[in-house]
Amino acid sequence: MRLEVKNIHKSFGEKHVLNDVSFGVESGQALGLLGRNGAGKTTMLRIIMGVFDADSGGVLVDGQPIDRRHIKIGYLPEERGLYPKKIIRDQLQYFAALKGMAAPEARKAAAALLERLEMSEYAGKKLDVLSKGNQQKIQLAVALLNNPDILILDEPFSGLDPVNAMILKDVVTELIGKGKLVLFSSHQMNYTEEFCRDIAILNGGRIALSGAIREIRRSYERRTVVLSSPEAEKVERFIAGQASDITEKTERRQDAVTVTLASADKKMALLKRLAEQELNLDAFAVYEPSLNDIFVEYTEARI
Ligand SMILES: Nc1ncnc2c1ncn2[C@@H]1O[C@H](COP(=O)(O)OP(=O)(O)OP(=O)(O)O)[C@@H](O)[C@H]1O
């Protein structure tokens, strides 16, 4: 299955929130929808869910307009929408019924999900006695109850402690492995990087960058190297004095020296000169921008 959003425009009154937004994602993959606060991520996810209509553009599944009666979508909304005073087991049963599940099937699915999320002990408790992060896990269980084909997660990691974040990450990775199509928004680049092949960065209502993270990384010019050395100062001095013909810029921060080469093919020449001097190096690696660096580059001062 391939989900595509095509040329989406959406305004709220005078405010043009989404401007010609297009991206796609396939079953068995996750796409991270990234962007600064107010960039339009939740609006985009709600349009896919059918909560809002787009002003123009379409949401397509395998090239046809999405038919939400036949495609099961699980949604973890940003504002959690559960009943604080209701017993968790009953609450899951209720949402399962809304999704058209028969009671025995719902009981089985709810028990299995609570177990997987390490929440079984809370089944008989009211929601409001749970911590914020644990309430969120219940909300995730609701999203997963009917074994959806498409899973839409809006800020799933917010408020989770590192252990719960790990559980969520493992659950999502398992679901991707089972062929689910996952779309999520997040400000946490490390999780995005771990289980998304693709990203789409929204900025000022437009897609500023989209594609496979690995390819985006490789597209950066590979002429910056990072050297790590217990004698970083000496390395820095040597480069300034003896390698200025093949380098453009050198910066040192504690044990790390970052060198911008005159061109990418000067990498081995620099390494050779350093080796000839027998300078003590712990590491010599081409610098690859982190997703965080890429995010900042594409969202800073472009709104
Ligand atoms: N129902 C609405 N009516 C009017 N304006 C809205 C509505 N929903 C969202 N907006 C506006 O649209 C813009 C985008 O909001 P949205 O919630 O989609 O951003 P976001 O990228 O999810 O932000 P955050 O990272 O802070 O959650 C904001 O300026 C917001 O105020």
pLDDT, position 303: 45
pLDDT, position 301: 60
Quick one: which atom of ligand 1 is closest to the CA of 39? 21
**What are the structure tokens assigned to 270, written together?**
């620099």
- Please tell me whether residue 224 adopts helix, strand or coil conformation: strand
- Measure 11 CA to ligand 1 centroid, in angstroms: 10
Residues contacting 179, CB < 8 A, separation 6+: 27, 28
- Please say whether the beta carbons of 30 and 182 come within 8 A: yes
pLDDT band at 295 (very low <50, low <70, confident <90, very high): very high
33 pLDDT above the threshold of 90: yes
Q: b/e string for 11-36 if b means 16 or more Cβ within 10 A?
A: eeeeeebbbebebebeeebbbbbbbb
Residues contacting 15, CB < 8 A, separation 6+: none
pLDDT band at 81 (very low <50, low <70, confident <90, very high): confident
What's the distance, CA 24 to chain centroid? 14
pLDDT digits (tens, 9 = 90+) for 244-294: 999 999 999 999 999 999 999 999 999 999 999 999 999 999 998 899 999
Computed over every residue of the chain, the mean pLDDT equals: 92
Q: Which of 57, 146, 49 minimizes the C-alpha distance to 105?
A: 146
Residues with CB under 6 Å of ligand 1 are: 12, 17, 35, 37-43, 78
Q: With pLDDT > 70 as the criterion, what percentage of the chain qualifies?
A: 99
CA gap 255, 279 in Å, rounded: 13
DSSP state letter for 87:
B
18 pLDDT above the threshold of 90: yes
Which ipTM was obtained for this model? 0.96
- Please tell me whether residue 5 adopts helix, strand or coil conformation: strand
Mean pLDDT of 59-76: 94
- Measure 80 CA to ligand 1 centroid, in angstroms: 16
pLDDT, position 132: 84
pLDDT, position 276: 94
302 pLDDT above the threshold of 80: no
Residue nearest to atom 5 of ligand 1 (CA): 12
DSSP state letter for 66:
-
Cα distances (Å, whole numbers) of residue 182 to 66, 239, 246: 16, 47, 45
Mean pLDDT of 156-181: 90
Q: For the chain, list the domains and their CATH numbers.
A: 2-218 (3.40.50.300), 224-287 (3.30.70)
pLDDT digits (tens, 9 = 90+) for 83-130: 999 999 999 999 999 888 999 999 999 999 999 999 999 999 999 999
- Please say whether the beta carbons of 180 and 15 come within 8 A: no
Residue nearest to atom 7 of ligand 1 (CA): 12
pLDDT, position 3: 97
Residues contacting 177, CB < 8 A, separation 6+: 28
**What are the structure tokens assigned to 207, written together?**
């897609």
Residue nearest to atom 4 of ligand 1 (CA): 12
